[in-house]
């Protein structure tokens, strides 16, 4: 087996004499390669060494290179290096004139600096002068000193030789320069300066997570749709709607906290968590869907803002075109202005968020105070009476209209709870994402849930479901019947004892006011109406801005992982914070198309399923990681599973055909990424499952008895390094047919300590070659002093690592 790898590692022997340095590598054939260098009269001696080239590890993975220790089929190599006029020494013989003893040492051949040199038998190193004596030293390699991890960042300047050798002189020059600058003897233009890039802003858990989540949760639904939800579902079922949404968000937040505290959290938010937990298949699918969901959410919040501005224009009789087109015009202008704010930078966007939160808090307090103020006659005519037991009793039960039911109302309200990921979506801009995300998100859910409960119960206790409005609206230009009905209802509103009659019954076919009909009912109950309008504008714009920032950040993370083709152009970042400007424009384009729908109730259900699917996968990723026995704590895997099933159930109950479309999108993207097989290693739970399942099945298989029906040929192919005998490996593959076990045995001749590091290199190279050739086989290399001992070791060891003895040996 002269061709076996490990048989040909040369032993280097060198001796030092007065006139020459002789280095010999013996190969048993007295072949010599020598290079003579004229003797130098100075103390500096020059040695020129020729070694057999050894390919790099990355060259071995191609499967085309010859093994690094093969030298034309011989067992040993012979290289002689001579300096001066000394006699050459080969075949392991050394001479010395100054020293009676010689030095033996084993020297590993250096790696070739060029992959093409791997096919050559030798190459020349550069000459090296050292002080005082003839020596052989390894040349420095720049790759050993370069910080590859910071290749994309700012590289630190390395000191020059002059700075190292003349450190004192340079320090004196620096002190003299400082004195000259202080004395004004050096012009400002000649003062050496170094441009330092400012670091991107990083946010804490309050400014980065709590504020952002509160603003995204207090969205368009708080002032524009919460009163409508109470009118449809009643006070009792409205509380159940809020509780169901809170249950989904709390469980999801706990699962998200368990994931983000078990490993480093970088930019990408929910996509980063799911992809690093469940692998690129689920992560890539949900990353795209979550990005689209946030882009559509921008449209939903902008449409809510546009509806408020349109109602103001209608109140002052200033409509531009009509109801629907005015919403489209205002919405398109608004989203362009929001894009300008987002492009300025994250720091300015965060400052704007704090201002908007302050306005929103004032508007909420204004509503709470307004419900305690006695109602005027005008407000009573429009349906607001203050706290009354009869109103609370009447509004407690449901009153579904226009084909709505509990789950259709929940579908419209649920986007109000989707802001829990607003802080996680900018995880790359947080100082400590592992602590900030759980703390800020859970506190935001607690505060927002209490607020929604309080405002829903207050609105249901103060405002009736249907109201006619002021009597003058019906006396001017209406027929007698409508006028009489308006007078009767107005008179009922002004009495304290209705005598058994229900003042909440509207006698007209269509009533413009009340919980059912007036989307501005929260403004009616507030103490100062313009403050509520400011709160609506603040809530809608802040949520739209948060979603406009979240969608590009998530999409940029997806593009940078290169899971999908043709979208890498959106991965480019600009500025110190790597802002995804291209993704911003894409988000605005998607949002503009949805704004053209012009109806808030039509847009809200579209994103509910996308967000629910994201939450379901976050919960499932936590459960799957627990099932794979990945390290973690402070959570319940069964609660995470319950959260995932709850999200899926709600998806189908809300709208079964949109749920099927969402499943189809996720499944298509999953299958695509699965068959594309991206070369990444994220430590996902899928990999943990593969190892765990393989271990369990191997243990079970060890107790299975052989049977003729289940016979599988077990092959031990003594091929050496697989690429050396490709035909032998292919012959074994034709027998196993990818359904039986085949092991490629390789005997590496040499000392175990000297060859121990080579086995890892051989294993990686052989495994890569087998995978590239699509050969279903395992590589096993053993170190032995001779071929017989190596083969015996392979035959004795391998049966203990498999379920059956090897019945066929191929060589």
Residues 585-631: tens digit of each pLDDT:
999 999 999 898 877 777 777 778 888 888 888 888 888 878 776 65
DSSP designation for 810: E
Q: How far is CA 417 from the centre of its chain?
A: 23
CB proximity list for 670: less than 8 A, separation 6 or greater: 281, 282, 284, 285
* 227: nearest Cα among 235, 236, 215, 216: 235
Q: What is the 3-state secondary structure (H, E, C) of 217-244?
A: HCCHHHHHCHHHHHHHHHHHHHHHHHHH
Residue 138, domain member (yes or no): no
**Alpha-carbon span 229 to 405, nearest angstrom:** 11
* 354: nearest Cα among 470, 206, 472: 206
Work out the angle at residue 433's Cα, subtended by the Cα atoms of residues 551 and 448, and round it to the nearest 5 degrees: 70
Domain boundary among 129, 153, 176: 129
Task: Output the six-digit token pair for 721.
Answer: 């390094």
Statement to judge: residues 266 and 371 lie in one domain: yes
pLDDT of residue 147: 41
DSSP designation for 51: E
Instruction: For helices 581-595 and 529-560, give the axis angle rounded to 10 degrees.
Output: 130
Statement to judge: residues 92 and 225 lie in one domain: no
**Alpha-carbon span 97 to 100, nearest angstrom:** 7
Which residues does the chain have with pLDDT short of 70? 1-170, 174, 177-178, 180-201, 262-268, 345-346, 471-510, 629-634, 679, 681-687, 689, 798-807
Residue 156, domain member (yes or no): no
What phi and psi values does residue 71 have, to the nearest 5 degrees? -130, 80
Statement to judge: residues 333 and 237 lie in one domain: yes
**Alpha-carbon span 494 to 225, nearest angstrom:** 28
What phi and psi values does residue 104 have, to the nearest 5 degrees? -105, 135
Residue 524 to residues 187, 327, 391, 509, 634, Cα–Cα distance (Å): 69, 22, 16, 22, 46
CB proximity list for 635: less than 8 A, separation 6 or greater: 254, 255, 257, 258, 622, 626
| Lookup result for tokens 């607020």 | 451
Residue 187, domain member (yes or no): no
108-117 burial by CB neighbour count: b if 16+ within 10 A, else e? Answer: bbebbeeeeb
pLDDT of residue 203: 77
Statement to judge: residues 562 and 419 lie in one domain: yes
**Alpha-carbon span 329 to 321, nearest angstrom:** 9
Residue 728, domain member (yes or no): yes
Statement to judge: residues 792 and 769 lie in one domain: yes
| Contact present, 598 and 328 (Cβ < 8 Å) | yes
Residue 768, domain member (yes or no): yes
Residue 350, domain member (yes or no): yes
33: left (phi over 0), alpha (psi -120 to 50) or beta: beta
**Alpha-carbon span 244 to 651, nearest angstrom:** 13
Residue 87, domain member (yes or no): yes
pTM: 0.61
**Alpha-carbon span 36 to 154, nearest angstrom:** 46
What are the pLDDT digits (tens) for 355-403?
888 888 999 999 999 888 888 888 888 888 888 889 898 899 888 888 8
| Lookup result for tokens 């703390």 | 439
| Lookup result for tokens 């995880």 | 427
Domain boundary among 99, 129, 159: 129
Q: Classify strands 103-104 and 12-16 as parallel, antiparallel or unpaired.
A: antiparallel
Statement to judge: residues 671 and 759 lie in one domain: no
**Alpha-carbon span 549 to 339, nearest angstrom:** 9
CATH number at residue 772: 3.40.50
| Lookup result for tokens 């499952």 | 689
| Contact present, 31 and 72 (Cβ < 8 Å) | no
> Using CA atoms in the order 240, 241, 245, 247, what is the torsion angle rounded to 10 degrees?
10
Task: Output the six-digit token pair for 713.
Answer: 């040929």
3-state secondary structure of 654: helix
Statement to judge: residues 570 and 522 lie in one domain: yes
Statement to judge: residues 102 and 44 lie in one domain: yes
* 254: nearest Cα among 564, 727, 789, 632: 632
Q: How many Cβ atoms from other residues are within 10 Å of residue 794's Cβ? A: 21
Domain boundary among 129, 162, 196: 129
**Alpha-carbon span 541 to 535, nearest angstrom:** 10
Work out the angle at residue 678's Cα, subtended by the Cα atoms of residues 677 and 684, and round it to the nearest 5 degrees: 90
CB proximity list for 364: less than 8 A, separation 6 or greater: 218, 222, 451, 455, 535
Q: Classify strands 34-37 and 80-83 as parallel, antiparallel or unpaired.
A: parallel
| Contact present, 778 and 742 (Cβ < 8 Å) | yes
**Alpha-carbon span 326 to 312, nearest angstrom:** 11
Statement to judge: residues 114 and 254 lie in one domain: no
For the chain, the domain total comes to: 4
Residue 675 to residues 375, 557, 668, 679, Cα–Cα distance (Å): 66, 21, 11, 12
Statement to judge: residues 490 and 408 lie in one domain: no
Statement to judge: residues 773 and 652 lie in one domain: no
Q: How many Cβ atoms from other residues are within 10 Å of residue 801's Cβ? A: 10
Statement to judge: residues 47 and 61 lie in one domain: yes
Residue 330, domain member (yes or no): yes
Domain carrying residue 94: 1-129
């Amino acid at each position: 087996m002269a061709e076996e790898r490990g048989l040909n590692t040369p032993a280097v022997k060198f001796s030092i004499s007065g006139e020459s340095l002789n280095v010999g590598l013996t190969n048993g054939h007295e072949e010599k390669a020598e290079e003579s260098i004229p003797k130098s009269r100075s103390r500096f001696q020059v040695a020129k060494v020729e070694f057999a080239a050894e390919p790099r590890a990355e060259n071995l993975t191609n499967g085309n290179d010859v093994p690094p220790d093969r030298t034309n089929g011989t067992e040993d190599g012979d290289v002689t290096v001579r300096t001066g006029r000394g006699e050459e020494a080969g075949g392991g013989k050394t001479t010395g004139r100054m020293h009676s003893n010689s030095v033996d040492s084993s020297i590993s051949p250096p790696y070739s600096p060029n992959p093409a040199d791997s096919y050559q038998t030798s190459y020349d190193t550069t000459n090296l002068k050292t002080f005082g004596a003839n020596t052989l030293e390894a040349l420095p390699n720049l790759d050993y000193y370069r910080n590859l991890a910071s290749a994309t960042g700012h590289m630190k300047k390395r000191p020059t030789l002059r700075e190292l050798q003349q450190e004192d002189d340079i320090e004196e020059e620096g002190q003299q320069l400082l004195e000259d600058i202080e004395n004004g003897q050096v012009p400002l233009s000649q003062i050496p300066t170094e441009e330092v890039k400012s670091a991107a802003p990083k946010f804490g858990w309050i400014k980065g997570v709590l504020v952002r989540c509160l603003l995204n949760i207090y969205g368009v639904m708080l002032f524009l749709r919460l009163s409508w939800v109470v009118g449809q579902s009643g006070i009792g079922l409205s509380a159940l709607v809020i509780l169901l949404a809170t249950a989904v968000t709390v469980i999801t937040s706990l699962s998200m906290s368990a994931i983000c505290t078990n490993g480093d959290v970088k930019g990408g938010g929910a996509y980063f968590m799911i992809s690093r937990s469940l692998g690129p298949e689920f992560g890539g699918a949900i990353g795209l869907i979550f990005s689209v969901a946030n882009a559509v959410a921008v449209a939903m919040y902008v449409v809510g803002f546009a509806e408020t501005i349109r109602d103001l224009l209608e109140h002052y009789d200033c409509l531009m075109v009509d109801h629907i087109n005015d919403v489209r015009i205002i919405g398109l202008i608004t989203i362009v202005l929001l894009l300008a704010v987002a492009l300025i930078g994250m720091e300015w966007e965060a400052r704007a968020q704090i201002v908007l939160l302050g306005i929103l808090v004032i508007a909420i307090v204004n509503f709470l105070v307004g419900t305690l103020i006695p109602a005027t006659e005008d407000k009573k005519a429009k349906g607001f009476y203050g706290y009354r037991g009869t109103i609370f009793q009447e509004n407690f039960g449901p009153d579904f209209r226009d084909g709505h039911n509990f789950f259709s109302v929940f579908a419209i309200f649920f986007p109000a709870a989707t802001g829990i990921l607003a802080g996680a979506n900018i995880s790359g801009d947080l100082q400590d994402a592992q602590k900030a995300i759980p703390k800020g998100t859970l506190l935001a859910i607690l505060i927002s849930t209490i607020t929604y409960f309080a405002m829903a119960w207050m609105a249901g206790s103060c405002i009736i479901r249907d109201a006619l409005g002021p009597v003058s609206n019906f006396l001017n230009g209406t027929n007698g019947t409508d006028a009489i009905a308006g007078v009767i209802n107005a008179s009922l509103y002004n009495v304290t004892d209705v005598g058994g009659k229900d003042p909440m019954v509207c006698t007209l076919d269509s009533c413009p006011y009340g919980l059912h009909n007036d989307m501005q009912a929260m403004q009616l109950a507030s103490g100062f109406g313009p403050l509520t309008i400011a709160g609506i504008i603040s809530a809608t714009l802040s949520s739209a801005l948060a979603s406009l920032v979240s969608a590009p950040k998530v999409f940029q993370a997806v593009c940078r992982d290169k899971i999908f083709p043709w979208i890498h152009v959106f991965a480019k970042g600009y500025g110190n914070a790597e802002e995804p400007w291209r993704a911003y424009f894409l988000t605005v384009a998607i949002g503009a198309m949805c704004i053209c729908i012009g109806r808030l109730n039509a847009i809200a259900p579209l994103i509910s399923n996308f967000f629910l699917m994201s939450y379901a996968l976050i919960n499932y990723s936590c459960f799957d990681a627990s099932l794979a026995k990945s390290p973690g704590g402070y959570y319940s895997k069964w609660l995470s599973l319950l959260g995932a099933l709850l999200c899926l159930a709600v998806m189908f109950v809300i709208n079964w055909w949109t749920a099927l479309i969402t499943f189809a999108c996720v499944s298509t993207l999953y299958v695509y990424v699965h068959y594309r097989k991206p070369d990444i290693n994220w430590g996902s739970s899928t990999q943990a499952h593969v190892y765990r399942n393989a271990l369990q099945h191997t243990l079970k298989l060890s107790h299975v008895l052989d049977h003729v029906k289940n016979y599988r040929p077990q092959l031990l192919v003594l091929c050496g390094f697989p690429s050396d005998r490709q035909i032998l490996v292919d012959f074994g593959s034709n027998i196993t047919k990818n359904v039986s076990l085949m092991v490629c045995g390789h005997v590496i001749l040499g000392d175990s300590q000297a060859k121990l590091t080579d086995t890892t290199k051989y294993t990686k190279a052989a495994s890569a070659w087998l995978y590239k050739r699509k050969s279903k086989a395992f590589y096993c290399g053993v170190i032995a002093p001779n071929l017989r001992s190596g083969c015996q070791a392979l035959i004795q060891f391998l049966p203990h690592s498999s379920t059956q003895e090897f019945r066929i040996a191929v060589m």
